[in-house]
A = this chain, B = another copy of it.
């Protein structure tokens, strides 16, 4: 590992590049979506995929689908944690949720091979997050070169 001069934010966290963020978004198996439901934020895990730089996931009838139908602003997060080294990274996507209704678009999304782990109830609706911003941070320790 070379001594990089990556930017550090006001909290002492290393700022990830967009390429790093997209790599993490593309390889994480689970992410978390947040939105406001009944006036209060919620955070719910989903098995997601990436369609270019946009997060997509499947859902059934419920608050996530409702958020997408209302085209609400949402956040989506993936992270990786290394408890032994007290280290980790996180990537945050801010965007707008919307349902995917176009049959051709739905058919293309099924080609991404996203199979929700929770499979006892069919998750037949697709949600796409229209990306506004992607940011990422990584914990750095002074003692690590």
Q: Do residues B41 and A73 form an inter-chain contact, with CB atoms below 8 A?
A: yes
Chain B neighbourhood of A83, CB < 8 A: 29-30
Which B-chain residue is minimally distant from A73 (CB atoms)? Answer: B40
Taking Cβ atoms with an 8 Å cutoff, the residues of A that contact B are 8, 10-13, 29-30, 32, 34-36, 39-45, 60-62, 73-77, 79, 81, 83, 86-88, 90, 92, 94, 117-121, 132, 139-142
Question: Smallest Cβ distance from A6 to chain B, in angstroms?
Answer: 13
- Of B8, B73, B79, B118, which is within 8 A of A32 by CB? B79
Q: Do residues A42 and B140 form an inter-chain contact, with CB atoms below 8 A?
A: no
Q: Do residues A41 and B120 form an inter-chain contact, with CB atoms below 8 A?
A: no
**Can you identify 8 A-B contacts, CB atoms within 8 angstroms?**
A10-B61, A11-B121, A12-B121, A42-B92, A43-B43, A43-B76, A44-B77, A86-B119
Q: Do residues B79 and A45 form an inter-chain contact, with CB atoms below 8 A?
A: yes
